Structure 1
Amino acid sequence: MSFTLATWNINSVRLRAALVSRLLTEEAPDILCLQECKSPVEKIPAETFHALGYTHMIARGQKGYNGVAILSKLPIEDAGDKDFASLGHARHVAGRLENGVTIHNFYVPAGGDVPDRERNVKFGQKLDYLTEMRDWFRAERPEKAILVGDLNIAPREDDVWSHKQLLKVVSHTPIEVEHLGQAQEAGDWVDVTRAHIPEGQLYSWWSYRSPNWDAADKGRRLDHIWATADIAGAAHSSRVLRAVRGWEQPSDHAPVFASFDL
């Protein structure tokens, strides 16, 4: 089975349904994983996506916040979800393809603005979420799996526009990078994007606060595609669709793609 998969923090699937439809029409990935849908499942415009050939949807949602969805042209069954850190948030959902590959779609908490769990409850929740991901991967030892999503951490120095200036900024602090690295190691996950694009600055998110995001280019790579080591070698053609960030009324994230021959 060969398929192309994409991940995109859409920042409201209902508000940006037309952008999702445009991506599905122009790029036609076999599977699109969305985060921050900000919608109850029953109000996701599934019929719109169904008409474009995405006849399968697995989702977890809540009103106004969080939310994850997997849209697929390929048959896929619901493989459950986990409430990491017991937050009661819709931040994870999994689907299983007919070839046995499990796709995990994550929306890791952003963590607020202050990188100190004593002063900022949200930062502590983020670290706890990552710790529980690590422990789950150690216990489950995932195989034939792909993990995608907005992990809200840019781990490498060249995943941010300025390593030095962002060391104390949430999403690139050493403690976050360490926690994400432990989760990745626990599941024997391979960072597919960086396996294919090993050198140079690479971003998937640019702040709405920047008046000219493209020229300023103060980005971060917050969106990821990982695969377990047993199938990572089957991945190819990774890319970030930077141009999508420039569409009208866009999300502040750009979609990330990878293809697999399994």
Structure 2
Amino acid sequence: MLLRVSVVGQRGDKVYYLLHKFRAAVRQVSPSAAQLFEAWFRSPTASKVGKRKWDAGAIAKAIENNGGGWHGFGWLGRGKWIAARSNINKNGVCLACGEKLTIIDLDPKETEDFATFVAKLAIKRERNLNFEKFQVNAVTDAIRQRRSSKKWPLIVLHNRHLTGERMKKPGNHKLVEKWKQANSIYATPNGSNDDWYWIYAVIRCKCLIITNDEMRDHTFQILEKDFFPKWKERHQVRIVYLTKEKVFIYRS
């Protein structure tokens, strides 16, 4: 209703505000909402509301600070819009204009709030299991070092996976030793939930997590009501094993 009133009333500021509300909160607009947006961009008012001058540097900085994809400075430029229905190919390119869509991540405040929430929750949940924040920061530091040196990804495993019968198999032992020599593995302490370590570290370092884990157990259910679904959608990379020699890694 508010969108319809704003479009019909030719309220450019309100349409801009609602457009970005949709961007942040709605995964797929309804056909009726899409028609309203089309009506707005085809209207004479839409071609006249934009600013004629702006600071390109300030715009670029604002886009970066907002997680990419938008700046929040209002309509920029004037002229007739081209509104058309289109499809997006597998590489994220619009088939109508040829531009690649931008991945809009959590903004810095959302990232900081999410990381703080996860750290506090982890420390509370693992208090009796010798979990300390400095242990998580060790993982974070390791990831940062690897990013700057462009070395192997950091492998985070629970300590139980690196001991016992499975390590008696020559192939397993050889592989783990290779990871250790490359300083590419971090073993979480006995008794701790390794999920807390990599979740916090990946959020804090703003990097990707390579896993096929759908993250549906109790640990992740605790996070569902906050930023977790949005973050997961943008930072998880999955693996498909085509053959023993070929692996396909893709970002969903």
Q: Answer whether TM exceeds 0.5 for this pair.
A: no
Structure with bigger strand share is 1
TM-score under structure 2 normalisation?
0.24
Report which of the two structures shows the higher radius of gyration computed on alpha carbons.
Answer: 2
Q: Hey, which of these two has a bigger chunk of helix by percent?
A: 2
If asked which structure has higher relative contact order (CA below 8 Å, sep 6+), I would say 1
